[in-house]
């Protein structure tokens, strides 16, 4: 539990069972979208039902679109992280939807398309919500000459394994696996992937990319584990000791030139303000944030008042804190610093209010603090004076430093337009399809080859072991 010692200059949103109290323009914009216009909800719900269209959306989606989607009753809508988006699309296909719309960036649409194809649903079309490309700074950093050079170095190093973040294109996954044996990972399973690889493959060199902050944070975690007592390390992984983790650190190679432009903003200045203004708050941090924010939340995690990990880990942590708070007598107030993209607020609010409604507690409040960076405040010429949001990044009073401008290319009007086009079987829909993947010299598509590292990860998730084909590829490398 954490109780606020006072106010903060960061914007925040206080969540109670039946109300939301925003503080600051950024938080006010987030709150406004959590109570969507009923007519708009009815309109979208009706269109999705009429044309039998499923929607998968990412946690970091535009808050207006998330708010409306969350209020719809059509069952074939799912908001999650990028990996579960594809799984949800398969379930929708199994239930008989006619088409699937993806509210995300292009690599997410590509992944949904590839996973559907692998599951035998090639006939179900997948559409993005904009005719133009929807990029991603992190995914793009894995398609640079620098990343190719990184992989070439791995290819020259015996017993190398490339662990690539799922948030990359199929082109990256396919090209990587041609150079060096490659397995994808998520922020939820990356630590166990690395520990298992090092346990299962003696002397393996692990090359992690493209997220530089995550790579450095993983180094920090491994170093911390290597200093822990052996029983603690054995609990993390039964085949490891402090000595094996110390040795692994010497063979762990993160890429040094890739980051997400959103998480890049959680740097030293923001952390200094958090320490000063919110010394007793609960701290959360995605594995992609810079080292300062990661270290702050990692220390809090060791003290049972924080979490580092994936979006799902953060949601679970907040839920657990609320569950504990409602078990205590008297009024309770939790203060949580959200160290990741602000688009998560929709799922956080829904989860918190669902728990508070179940407990019938009106005296429990959860304040979500958005740590807006100084460089993410833009001066304007109008009456507002300043608005949260990095200049030039597509941000405004409706989006701040912790919002992704690429994700904001998915908006409510775009979804409604695409669903209507599906109903009309509009020839213009071709512009909304994921880019066609080229064929290699053997006639195999990049999409098929790019799915192989994902299937390796799926096998690891099922069994806890790296698949034999991947082990053989590394051993013969």
Cβ atoms of 56 and 91 within 8 Å: the answer is no
What pLDDT score does 214 carry?
86
Do 80 and 110 share a structural domain?
yes
Do 294 and 399 share a structural domain?
yes
Burial of 159 (0-12, 13-18, 19+ CB in 10 A): middle
Report the CATH number that the domain containing residue 300 is assigned in CATH. 3.40.50.10800
pLDDT digits (tens, 9 = 90+) for 437-476: 766 666 677 888 999 999 999 999 999 999 999 999 999 8
Do 345 and 425 share a structural domain?
no
Would 7 be classed as within a structural domain?
no
Do 151 and 214 share a structural domain?
yes
More confident residue, 383 or 471: 471
* Dist. CA 105–CA 116, nearest whole Å: 17
- Whole-number percent of the chain with pLDDT over 70: 87
Do 174 and 193 share a structural domain?
yes
pLDDT digits (tens, 9 = 90+) for 126-139: 999 988 888 787 88
Report the domain count for the chain.
Answer: 3
Q: Kindly indicate the confidence band of residue 433, based on its pLDDT and cuts at 50, 70 and 90.
A: very high
Would 76 be classed as within a structural domain?
yes
State the pairing for strand pair 364-369/12-15: antiparallel
Would 1 be classed as within a structural domain?
no
Quick one: DSSP state of residue 102? E
Whether the per-residue pLDDT at 340 is higher than 60: the answer is: yes
* Dist. CA 395–CA 388, nearest whole Å: 7
Do 297 and 313 share a structural domain?
yes
Q: Kindly indicate the confidence band of residue 384, based on its pLDDT and cuts at 50, 70 and 90.
A: very low
Do 398 and 283 share a structural domain?
yes
Whether the per-residue pLDDT at 32 is higher than 80: the answer is: no
Average per-residue pLDDT in the chain?
86
Q: Kindly indicate the confidence band of residue 248, based on its pLDDT and cuts at 50, 70 and 90.
A: very high
Q: Kindly indicate the confidence band of residue 380, based on its pLDDT and cuts at 50, 70 and 90.
A: very low
Do 210 and 329 share a structural domain?
no
- How far are the Cα atoms of 188, 213, 219, 236 from residue 241, in angstroms, in the given order? 22, 25, 16, 10
Of 170, 124, 141, 168, nearest to 433 by C-alpha is 124
What pLDDT score does 62 carry?
74
Q: What is the DSSP string of 309-378?
A: E-HHHHHHHHHHHHHHHHTSSS-EEEEEEEES-GGGHHHHHHHHHHHHHHHT-SSEEEEEE----GGGEE
Do 276 and 231 share a structural domain?
no
Q: Kindly indicate the confidence band of residue 186, based on its pLDDT and cuts at 50, 70 and 90.
A: confident
Query: Which residues are CB-contacts of 429 (< 8 A; sequence separation ≥ 6)?
Result: 125, 127, 418, 421, 422
Would 336 be classed as within a structural domain?
yes
Do 385 and 271 share a structural domain?
yes
Whether the per-residue pLDDT at 378 is higher than 50: the answer is: no
Mean per-residue pLDDT, 93-100: 97
* Dist. CA 412–CA 339, nearest whole Å: 26
Q: Name the residue range of residue 154's domain.
A: 140-258+438-475
- How far are the Cα atoms of 63, 152, 406 from residue 26, in angstroms, in the given order? 12, 44, 18
Return the number of other C-beta atoms located less than 10 Å from residue 25's C-beta.
18
pLDDT digits (tens, 9 = 90+) for 148-181: 999 999 999 999 999 999 889 988 999 999 999 9
Do 124 and 81 share a structural domain?
yes
More confident residue, 95 or 383: 95
State the pairing for strand pair 126-127/77-80: unpaired
Whether the per-residue pLDDT at 261 is higher than 70: the answer is: no
Q: Residue by residue, what is the 3-state secondary structure of 16-72? A: CCCCEEEECHHHHHHHHHCCCCHHHHHHHHHHHHHHCEEEEEECCCCHHHHHHHHHC
Q: Kindly indicate the confidence band of residue 382, based on its pLDDT and cuts at 50, 70 and 90.
A: very low
- Whole-number percent of the chain with pLDDT over 90: 58
What pLDDT score does 266 carry?
55
Do 171 and 182 share a structural domain?
yes
Would 453 be classed as within a structural domain?
yes
* Dist. CA 36–CA 165, nearest whole Å: 34
What pLDDT score does 379 carry?
37
What pLDDT score does 139 carry?
86
Would 105 be classed as within a structural domain?
yes
Whether the per-residue pLDDT at 206 is higher than 80: the answer is: yes
Of 173, 161, 168, nearest to 447 by C-alpha is 173
Stated length of the chain: 477
Would 393 be classed as within a structural domain?
yes
Quick one: DSSP state of residue 254? E
pTM: 0.77
Mean per-residue pLDDT, 73-87: 90
Would 303 be classed as within a structural domain?
yes
* Dist. CA 315–CA 284, nearest whole Å: 10
With H, G, I as helix, E, B as strand and everything else as coil, classify residue 7: coil
């Amino acid at each position: 539990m954490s109780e606020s010692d006072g106010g903060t200059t960061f914007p925040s949103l206080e969540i109670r069972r039946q109300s939301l109290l925003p503080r600051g323009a950024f938080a006010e914009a987030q709150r406004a979208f959590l109570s969507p216009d009923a007519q708009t909800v009815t309109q979208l719900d009706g269109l999705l039902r009429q044309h039998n269209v499923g929607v998968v959306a990412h946690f970091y989606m535009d808050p207006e679109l998330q708010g409306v989607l969350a209020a719809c009753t059509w069952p074939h809508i799912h908001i999650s992280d990028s990996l579960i988006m594809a799984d949800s699309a398969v379930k929708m296909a199994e239930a008989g939807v006619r088409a699937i719309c993806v509210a995300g960036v292009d690599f997410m649409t590509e992944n949904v398309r590839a996973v559907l194809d692998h599951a035998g649903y090639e006939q179900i079309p997948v559409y993005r919500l904009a005719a133009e490309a929807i990029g991603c700074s992190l995914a793009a950093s894995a398609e640079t000459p620098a990343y190719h050079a990184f992989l070439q170095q791995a290819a020259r190093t015996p017993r190398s394994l490339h662990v690539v973040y799922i948030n990359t294109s199929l082109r990256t996954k396919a090209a990587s696996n041609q150079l060096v044996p490659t397995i994808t990972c998520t922020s939820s399973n990356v630590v166990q992937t690395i520990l298992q690889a090092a346990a299962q493959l003696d002397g393996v060199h692990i090359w992690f990319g493209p997220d530089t902050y995550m790579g450095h944070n993983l180094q920090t975690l491994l170093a911390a584990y290597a200093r822990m007592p052996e029983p603690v390390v054995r609990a993390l992984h039964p085949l490891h000791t402090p000595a094996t983790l110390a040795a692994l650190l010497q063979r762990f190679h993160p890429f040094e030139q890739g980051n997400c432009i959103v998480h890049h903003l959680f740097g030293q200045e923001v952390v200094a303000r958090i320490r000063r203004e919110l010394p007793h708050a609960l701290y959360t941090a995605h594995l992609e944030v810079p080292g300062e924010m990661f270290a702050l939340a990692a220390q809090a995690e060791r003290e049972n008042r924080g979490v580092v990990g994936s979006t799902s880990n953060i949601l679970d942590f907040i839920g657990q804190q609320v569950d504990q708070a409602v078990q205590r007598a008297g009024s309770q107030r939790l203060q949580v610093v959200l160290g990741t993209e602000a688009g998560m607020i929709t799922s956080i609010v829904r989860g918190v209010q669902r728990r508070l409604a179940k407990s019938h507690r009106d005296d429990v409040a959860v304040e979500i603090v958005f740590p807006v960076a100084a460089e993410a405040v833009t001066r304007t010429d109008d009456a507002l004076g300043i608005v949260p949001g990095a200049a030039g990044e597509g941000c405004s009073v409706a989006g701040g430093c912790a919002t992704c401008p690429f994700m904001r290319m998915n908006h409510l009007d775009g979804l409604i337009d695409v669903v209507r086009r599906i109903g009309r079987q509009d020839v213009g829909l071709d512009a909304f399809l994921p880019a066609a993947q080229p064929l290699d010299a053997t006639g195999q598509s990049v999409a098929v080859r790019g799915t192989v590292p994902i299937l390796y990860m799926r096998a690891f998730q099922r069994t806890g072991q790296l698949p034999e084909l991947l082990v053989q590829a590394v051993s013969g490398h």
